[in-house]
Structure 1
Amino acid sequence: MRSRSNLFLIAILALISTPLVIMYVFQLIDSVSRPALGGFLPQTWELGNWRFLWETIDSARPSIWRVTFNTFVFAASTALLVCAFSITAAYALSRLNFPARRFFLAGLIMLHAFPTITLIIAIFIVLQFLGLYDSLIGVILVKAALELPFGIWIMKGFYDSVPWEIEMAGVQDGASRFRVWRELILPQVKPGLAALLIFSFLAGWSEFILPLVLAPGADAQVLATYMNAVIADDMRPDYGLFKAIGVFYALPVIAVYLLFQKQLMNIYGGGTKG
């Protein structure tokens, strides 16, 4: 019975996923071919749509490699900031009994559920005041701050799953609280930290709204806004080029998922104690 139910579930998931797979397959085919006029089947095979790899598409736009570097810096910096603050804040919420602890826990859930777009005007004004508008650093700080509630909540669950006895044994042996955290507790939550690092990197890599609104200049452009600029050219739209850039944009995400899918699954493996 269990085998039949698993097969039924797999069949349902395959049926739902088939249209998405077909669209991705056609996007890949269209990126290396030119369809017939008014059709969708490939007529000729060519690599002209991938010319952005070795030449600049437009003098007004930066090189694709500069944009890719910006995207990597944006995603990696966001992931590192989220993890650095989450592992310390989550430990305090999990292990320390301080006033208004429940208020902070409830606030984390509210901040995570709060729609980002409603804060965009306030964030714009703050960045203007700080002189960080239209800069990659400003967008990194904003994205990291918005991802922090999720990261802290996830890491708190992993800290909650670590038995108190491990920490108490280290304290009784004369180690400081910081040394116990670094040498005994932190190794226990490494799977969650790895999952959060990858998840935050992917969240930064796929971000579109924040770079579009807060860093519209060419110097801070990322791949998501670069694609938007390509398709927004009403005078000479090149859909083949757009699809090729889309495949190029998706390749690192696919590679990360294939290499680290087990670590990504660990993000829901933490405890749930309050």
Structure 2
Amino acid sequence: MTSQQSSRYLIVALGVISLPLALMYVYLFIDTLSNTHPGDLLPYEFTLEHWRFLWEPIPGKPNIWIVTLNTLVFSVVSTLVTILVSSMAAYALSRLNIPLRSAMLGGVMVLHAFPTVTLLIAIFLILQYLGLYDTLSGVILVKASLELPFGIWILKGFYDSVPWELEMAAMQDGASRLMVWRKIVLPLIQPALVALGIFSFLASWSEYILPQVLAPGNDAQVLSVYLANLIADDNNFDMALFKSVGLFYVLPVILLFALFQKQLMNMYSGGNKG
């Protein structure tokens, strides 16, 4: 059996395995646009009432667009802070002969291994002391801090793969260390920066524990908390509405993956090719 035939069989097998999942998502989408009698499979009417949260607030819940804006701000700012700090810290650990460098690298790994839930009490007390409890900025700082160890460790590996001779040649021509880092090294690890940005954004977009515990008020509510609150009241639970909000919540993730799929697949190809 040739490698091409093996690839075809693998694609067919993956297609068969993925078919039930694809059908489930199709049925979920149809179910949010229709009404079905209990026990029936096919809907008896199509309607937009389950998407009414887009144009009228749900009683007792904040406006969905304000919550979406909070989620977008939380995810984007956390991602930018993670990329900025990780890119500088990883470069310093990769290129500079700083004291206790090995200990710092080991500490980064230890911090990444810590479960978030074990730090919640300490983080809660710190945010209260700083006056950042129940604020979006406080949750952003915490989430970015927790993502930094992963970002630093990943980017350091990419910095290590960049030839040192390129930087030496540029500095001999009069370029500063900052200019070398910004104009020569960063473009070479661009695929890693894009991938780190996507992973950080998705981690922030799907974050639930931190916003729920550290920002429980409506002013800083994000979509994950909004969705969880829909099932908090068992007496007035609307399954169709819950599925519609869930689909609305996942659409940006699908769009992001569709737009940056090529960059994710080329993460390890290096920025100096093509």
- TM-score bin (small chain): over 0.9
For 1:251, the equivalent position in structure 2 comes to 251
Pairs within 5 Å for 1:220-259: 220-259=220-259
The answer to whether the 8 Å contact 2:151/2:196 transfers is: yes
Q: Distance in 1 between matches of 2:92 and 2:155?
A: 11
Tell me which amino acid in the other structure corresponds to 1:18.
L
Tell me which amino acid in the other structure corresponds to 1:265.
M
Tell me which amino acid in the other structure corresponds to 1:117.
V
Deviation at 1:211, TM superposition (A): 0.8
Tell me which amino acid in the other structure corresponds to 1:103.
A
The answer to whether the 8 Å contact 1:196/1:267 transfers is: no
The answer to whether the 8 Å contact 1:161/1:270 transfers is: no
Q: Distance in 2 between matches of 1:68 and 1:201?
A: 14
The answer to whether the 8 Å contact 1:87/1:155 transfers is: yes
Closer/same/farther in 2, CA of residues 4 and 159 from structure 1, 3 Å limit = same
Q: Distance in 2 between matches of 1:23 and 1:268?
A: 33
Q: Distance in 2 between matches of 1:184 and 1:47?
A: 52
Q: Distance in 2 between matches of 1:256 and 1:117?
A: 28
The answer to whether the 8 Å contact 1:75/1:204 transfers is: yes
Pairs within 5 Å for 1:1-274: 1-58=2-59, 60-269=60-269
Which structure would you say has the larger RCO, counting Cα contacts within 8 Å and 6 or more residues apart? 1
Deviation at 1:269, TM superposition (A): 4.8
- The range that moved more, 187-196 or 251-260, is 187-196
RMSD between aligned alpha carbons?
1.7
Deviations 1:54-89 (A, max 9, x none): 00111x221110000000000001000001101100
The answer to whether the 8 Å contact 1:67/1:222 transfers is: yes
- The range that moved more, 92-101 or 238-247, is 92-101
Deviation at 1:267, TM superposition (A): 3.9
Give me the TM-score of the superposition, normalised by structure 2.
Answer: 0.93
SS of structure 1 residue aligned to 2:44:
strand
Closer/same/farther in 2, CA of residues 209 and 266 from structure 1, 3 Å limit = farther
Tell me which amino acid in the other structure corresponds to 1:22.
L
The answer to whether the 8 Å contact 1:82/1:144 transfers is: yes
Deviation at 1:270, TM superposition (A): 6.3
Deviations 1:193-242 (A, max 9, x none): 12222221121111111111111110011111111111222111101011
Tell me which amino acid in the other structure corresponds to 1:50.
W
Unaligned 5+ runs, structure 2: none
Report how many aligned residue pairs link the two structures: 270
SS of structure 2 residue aligned to 1:202:
helix
Q: Distance in 2 between matches of 1:219 and 1:226?
A: 11
Q: Distance in 2 between matches of 1:269 and 1:170?
A: 23
Give me the TM-score of the superposition, normalised by structure 1.
Answer: 0.93
Deviation at 1:104, TM superposition (A): 1.6
Closer/same/farther in 2, CA of residues 133 and 268 from structure 1, 3 Å limit = farther
The answer to whether the 8 Å contact 1:192/1:269 transfers is: no
Unaligned 5+ runs, structure 1: none
Tell me which amino acid in the other structure corresponds to 2:3.
R
Q: Distance in 2 between matches of 1:118 and 1:267?
A: 32
The answer to whether the 8 Å contact 2:78/2:144 transfers is: yes
The answer to whether the 8 Å contact 1:199/1:264 transfers is: no
Deviation at 1:20, TM superposition (A): 2.7
Tell me which amino acid in the other structure corresponds to 1:202.
L
SS of structure 2 residue aligned to 1:105:
helix
- The range that moved more, 136-145 or 5-14, is 5-14
Deviations 1:128-169 (A, max 9, x none): 221111111111111101111111112112211211110000
Closer/same/farther in 2, CA of residues 109 and 236 from structure 1, 3 Å limit = same
Tell me which amino acid in the other structure corresponds to 2:243.
K
Q: Which aligned runs of 4 or more in structure 1 are off by greater than 2 angstroms?
A: 7-23, 38-41, 264-271
Q: Distance in 2 between matches of 1:213 and 1:175?
A: 47
